[in-house]
A and B are shown apart, each in its own frame.
Chain A
Amino acid sequence: MATPHVPAAAGDLTPELLGTPEWTDQMVAAAGIPMHDIPFLTAGGGIGSFVTVDYLRIYGVPTSHIRVVSNIDYPWQTYEFLTRCSQIPRPERIRSDSSSRPDNIWGFPSYALEEAWKEKNPRYLWNVLTEPLLNDYWTPRAGTVFENLEREAKRIGYWDMLVKGQVRMVRKRVGGGYFTVVTPPEGTAPTKRIVFRSRFVHLAVGYPGLKFLPDLQEFRQKYGDYQHVVNAYEPHEQVYEFLKTRPGTVVIRGGGIVASRVLQRLFDDREKYNLQTQIVHIFRTFITGSHGPHIWMRRKGGDGWAYQGFNYPKSVWGGQLKAEMRKLEGAARAQKYKDMGGTNTPKRRRWQEQMAQGRAGGYYHAFQGVVEKVEPAPDGRLVSHVRSKDGTIRQPVADYIIDCTGLEADIAEHRVFADLLQYSGAYRNPVGRLEVERHFEVKNTASGDGALYASGSATLGGYFPGVDTFLGLQVAAQEIADDLARRGFCRKMGPVRSTTQWFKWAFNSPV
């Protein structure tokens, strides 16, 4: 019998490719997918990709050896969208240390020094000198961060390396290295997919997705109402606009920085426009004071909140906690994460004042409770059925509910990770995310002389805790760059090159 006719290759994934963990060059060629060679590819194109590429460029890797595959146009695009939604427009300050600079691998001069110099304002320096003892932590304006990222992106030739497209999967290559399958924007390529063949791949695709609180998700789906129950990370300006038109009640869920930000906006608007907004704040875990297992591990708290300057205790980025975690495996590591974890927010003087005024004025009501369900009231508003630990049942009625919990979806919600877990040998760490080495290579995914790295939120739970932060991404980038130097991909950077490169940064001359 004659062999069935095989249709002409369409440049798309074939069942054979989809079902085969390791691909050969011939398999890709047979599918008709155009193949491009690039030694180092980073997928994502957000801040994680940017700082990694920044390191590599400063270590001496030319732009012709690097490609950034991304569906966004500039590295801070997603970050800026999320910060703006969560009430941090460019002039407002983010929650980040003065010397955590994603545009400057040395962290010197710090943002405080730069803003003080530019604005001729020595108070910023006094602030960093006396923080956190006499002052709140000094933090940079979102705008300062973005402007500097743009400057650095231009300096390192970022846009020469950017390829627009959606990364679909990364598979091992027989003979070493990896294939990265990319779906280019429609109409920009003759085929549906293109493939990059690389020795090294880096994944920095960001948060797999937002997860809603289950009761709010249920409400949205059941009643099709996406206007009154909102997530703080999605645009929700309608809430604040509504409250300007008539008195209303808002329920806030969550006890983290985003809850603080949203509260500040509500308090600010109340004061600015003389509004009558009532705020009901539901904490699932209500912290009443200092808490922790023993005297050497106790965090401050009160009025519902756990207080901490930044996302993690400071020493995770370079000190004692970083050194301790680096040695831990399995259950011991998971326990350490638990000990230092928990939702928290900075204890900022302004926020404390606003909440105290709110409590005294009877328009800010915070309590512990678990929401069992949310239903529409007869007048169309929203009733939350809340049960507290002491058995009290409350049923606050509100015009809007803002979910500020910032829950993250499982990594397998992201196609690239789901594929990696299924076909490439990657596995989960003790807290359920992607297990990586101390140098951020995804464990069990080596392919010949190639290596697959990952950084950012997907790797939380590894030997280094602060992964989903500016400085954490730089810690990861440095580990990756040093590992690449060990493998001979670039030279290791010593004090002399570091210093000359710093001067190039300072004078904004190309690397």
Chain B
Amino acid sequence: MVPTLFGRIQTRLFLLATVGVIVTLIIVPFLPGTSGPIGDLYATGFMVLVSVAVLGVIWEFIYHFLMQFRWEKDWPTLFGLLTFINEGLLLFFLLRTGILDSIADAPPAGAFWTHFIVVWLCVWLVANGPMRVPFIRWRFRGGRVL
């Protein structure tokens, strides 16, 4: 991808709000190690999703800064995939600290990683191809949706 800063942020928010929401709706009942009312499970699932979005905006600033060292000002496909590691780990530890417990219960490790990685993969796959089908101007605008 060849994103601009605003393109990165918009693409992330848009894809989490579409692909991320759909995947979360489908996957939450099947996450391993979870129990309790389905409403609580969804509350946890969406809390994770929103956290990825909010923290992600900060991450995008960091990625944008790092991208400046690249002559091409591009963000290779592999970077887009592998950044799940740093983002996932940070979020996982933040949830462990319990700072979001007032909103919803932190998910068990298995549930968190399954949910997080499946959403990440789907978003990454859509961003690397199918996104261009409905949005023909998106790739020429650095990933801006608006």
Q: Which residues of A contact B (CB under 8 A)?
A: 99, 105-110, 113, 128-134, 292, 295-300, 308-309, 313-315, 317-323, 475, 478, 482, 493, 495-496, 498-499, 502
Instruction: Answer whether residue B146 sits at the interface, using C-beta atoms and an 8 A cutoff.
Output: no
Cβ-defined contact, B3 with A319, below 8 A: yes
CA distance A417 to B20 in the complex (A): 51
Q: A131-B76, A131-B77, A496-B134 are in contact. List 10 more A-B contacts (CB 8 A).
A: A108-B129, A108-B130, A129-B78, A133-B78, A299-B71, A300-B71, A315-B73, A315-B74, A482-B137, A493-B136
Which B residues are CB-close (under 8 A) to A495?
134-135
| B83 interfacial contact with A, CB 8 Å | no
Q: Is the CB of A315 within 8 A of B72?
A: yes
Report yes or no: A108 in contact with B132, Cβ–Cβ below 8 A: yes
A314-B2, A317-B2, A502-B133 given as contacts; is B73 within 8 A of A475 (CB)? no
- A-B pairs, 9 with minimum CB distance: A319-B2, A495-B134, A315-B73, A314-B74, A314-B72, A315-B2, A320-B73, A313-B72, A108-B129
Name B's A-contacting residues (CB within 8 A): 1-4, 7, 67-69, 71-74, 76-78, 81, 129-130, 132-137, 139-143
A322 to B143, CA, bound (A): 12
Which B residues touch A502, using CB under 8 A?
133
* Residues from chain B with Cβ under 8 Å of A478 in the complex: 136-137, 140
Most chain A CB within 10 A, of B2, B3, B78, B142, is at B2
**Cross-interface CB contact of B129 among A110, A129, A299, cutoff 8 Å:** A110
How far is the CB of A210 from the nearest CB of chain B, in Å?
28
Tell me the smallest distance from the CB of A296 to a CB of chain B, in Å: 5
Taking a contact as CB atoms closer than 8 A, the residue among B71, B129, B142 that contacts A322 in the complex is B142
Could you name 22 residue pairs across A and B whose Cβ atoms are closer than 8 Å?
Answer: A99-B129, A99-B139, A106-B132, A107-B132, A108-B129, A109-B129, A113-B129, A129-B77, A132-B76, A134-B78, A296-B68, A300-B71, A308-B71, A313-B73, A313-B74, A317-B140, A319-B73, A322-B140, A323-B142, A478-B140, A495-B135, A498-B136
Residues of A within 8 A of B78 (CB): 129-130, 133-134
Residues of B within 8 A of A308 (CB): 71-72
Question: Given A129-B77, A298-B71, is A320 in contact with B133 using a C-beta cutoff of 8 Å?
Answer: no
Report if A319-B74 is in contact (Cβ < 8 Å); known contacts: A295-B69, A296-B68: yes
CB distance from B60 to the nearest CB of A (A): 13
Q: Given A110-B129, A319-B3, A297–B140 Cβ distance below 8 Å?
A: no
B73 in contact with A314 (CB, 8 Å)? yes
Q: Hey, which chain A residues are within 8 Å of B81, CB to CB?
A: 129
B62 to chain A, nearest CB (A): 15
Residues of B within 8 A of A107 (CB): 132, 139
Q: Give Cα A498 to B136, complex, Å.
A: 7
Give Cα A315–Cα B140 distance, bound, in whole angstroms.
9
CB distance from A124 to the nearest CB of B (A): 13
Give the CA-CA distance A262 to B71 in the complex, in Å.
26
Contact call B142/A320, Cβ cutoff below 8 A: yes
**Cβ-defined contact, B133 with A108, below 8 A:** yes
Closest Cβ–Cβ distance, residue A132 to chain B (whole Å): 7
Residues of A within 8 A of B142 (CB): 315, 318-320, 322-323
**Distance in Å: Cβ of B77 to nearest Cβ of chain A:** 6
A358 to B134, CA, bound (A): 50
Q: Name the A residues within 8 Å of B69 (CB-CB).
A: 295-296
How many whole Å from A290's CB to the nearest CB in chain B? 9
